[in-house]
Chain A
Amino acid sequence: MSLLILVFSLCLNTSSAVADSVIVSMDVEELSFNKNFLLAVFSMRVTRWPDGRPIKVFVLPDRHPVHHRFVKQHLQIFPYQLRNNWDRQVYTGTGEAPVQVDDIDEMYIKVSQTPGSIGYLSAPKELSLKEVRSVDEY
């Protein structure tokens, strides 16, 4: 049954996310990010978009395989470093941790519904990109 739904939803999709894409909500104007910007955003060091609006960051749980892959391949650091940064900020009052979502589906829903948000999706999980936008990295 779930396979049927998957096939059905695949047929409906006009576009799909490529391998571990960074996604943003539709209102975000940026079309591409460099690695330093991504690292600063997911480390919660930079908290505003260039237009001045706050950035809302969504991540999967620390032990989620997609989180691991995304952090290592796209941010080029290790998940424990990211966690250390967030903990240091949260327990000194100097910053926040990102909002954690349980799975890819929730990631998609939260990013699509939250203005100024950023997150990531994995390749095998094909989802409609009508409500979120995939951004290029350089």
Chain B
Amino acid sequence: MNINYLSALFVSGLSLLSLPALSDPHISDLSINGFITQGFFYTDENNIYGQSSDNGSFEFREAGINTSYRFNSRLRGAAQLMSRKAGAVDDGNPKLDYALLDYRFTDSVDNAAGIRLGRLKIPFGFYNETRDVAFTRPSIMLPQSLYFDQARDVELSIDGVIVYSYLEVPGGWLDIDLLYGKPQTDTNVEYTYLSGDAPGKFDDSMGYLGRVIYNADGGRVRLGAMLANYEFSYQPAKPAVFLDFDKGNMKLDLFILSAQYNAEKWTATAEYMLHDLDWRELGGVFAVSPQTTIESYYLQLQYRIDQNWELLLRYDDMRLDKDDPNGTTNAILFAPKPAHTFYSEDITVGVGWKPNPDWSFRAELHNVKGTAWAAEQDNTDPTELRKYWNIFALQATYRF
């Protein structure tokens, strides 16, 4: 499914359905929302979102505009355009973030269920769906162990279909999402999973995913679990080049457990992820390490002083190879990459200020050991990466 298909879907949907809806001003409903974010990053070592270790980097901007339209009581359409500039990882070109039709079969408090079709945000953990919307983030940078920036294109959105339900159960309700579709495949995916811009490319992909979140006591307690399986078909370069990968499928399996407690003044959140990578069919450099499991987790505390001010404390931990947590074996296998490129430990403190509902400002400090999620696009020579580094970040956001 591509953008042309999606727009065709939309035009046909509009022409079929909008006429009766438009004639009734009480049923039809159009809404438009947007936001713009500017960040600043300064690092003492290593780079993030541009050449941040020189004099700091302003190469971090996010802007989005979305619209939704209620055709009738069962059918909605929604779309969002998104531009993101993030150092050498994202160039800022506007992309269709999501564009979907949502049909609700049943809509009662014990079971509200429906289907969404089109380009969809991936319901991955608590934060992935709105990872680029600063107002929905607890911090400037999401915990990179789970929401690492390099893999954002895989995690961001998918062309396919979601069946969803809000199902009442004892003590609360379940948010259920079952997804099947085709994840995006671009060069950043190669950086993430093939450690660089590969000679060939991923020319096809498919994935399915299921997420269930149990919301108890009105959402005071939220417990989630997610399982996903992705396959990316690698097509070697033509004509063949030296040191290319073999034709075949790279397989990803993801498993996430999420938990959150929402009190009036504070929110505690924790998520744990296992991310299995299987490169066996691709061979090449990965023949020495054909299967690995990334292990990630974070623990996060938000404290709301009043309606303007909020504090954040977080510990975030990532091991690129669960069986080699300190990277010693991998450093030998993948020389000259240093051992610290195989893990990251990040202690974050932050403060947020919302002078009014439309503006949000944040400042945060990251004390980081390891460089597992330091983007290779912004740090082109892995031997120059430093094990210990600090990030200072500022962010301003306006929404309308």
Q: A: which residues have CB within 8 A of B? A: 36-37, 39-40, 45-48, 50, 52-54, 56, 61-63, 75-78, 80-81, 84-85, 87-88, 90-94, 96-97, 114-116
| A84 CA to B136 CA, complexed, in Å | 7
Determine chain B's interface SS by DSSP, over half rule: strand
Could you jot down 23 A-B contacts, CB within 8 Å? Answer: A36-B109, A36-B168, A37-B109, A40-B166, A47-B73, A48-B73, A48-B74, A52-B73, A53-B27, A54-B70, A54-B73, A84-B136, A88-B130, A90-B31, A91-B64, A91-B130, A92-B98, A93-B66, A93-B78, A93-B80, A93-B98, A96-B29, A116-B26
| A131 CA to B70 CA, complexed, in Å | 26
**Best-surrounded residue of B70, B98, B99, B130 (most CB of chain A within 10 A):** B130
Find residues 47-70 in chain B having any chain A CB closer than 8 Å to their own CB. Answer: 64, 66, 68, 70
Interface residues on B, range: 35 or more
When the two chains form their complex, are residues B136 and A45 in contact, meaning their CB atoms are under 8 A apart? no
B residues less than 8 Å from A90 (CB atoms):
31, 33, 66, 68
Q: Which of A76, A88, A93 contacts B100 (CB 8 A)?
A: A93
Q: Which of B76, B217, B307 contacts A63 (CB 8 A)?
A: B307
When the two chains form their complex, are residues B109 and A46 in contact, meaning their CB atoms are under 8 A apart? yes
Task: Return B361 CB to nearest CB of chain A, in Å.
Answer: 17
Count CB-based A-B contacts (< 8 Å): 104
**With contact pairs A63-B357, A87-B135, A115-B26 given, residues A94 and B102 touching in the complex (Cβ less than 8 Å):** yes
Question: Quick one: closest B residue to A87, CB to CB?
Answer: B136
Q: Which of B70, B130, B217 contacts A87 (CB 8 A)?
A: B130
Q: Is B91 an interface residue (CB 8 A)?
A: no
A residues less than 8 Å from B70 (CB atoms):
54, 96
When the two chains form their complex, are residues A53 and B73 in contact, meaning their CB atoms are under 8 A apart? yes
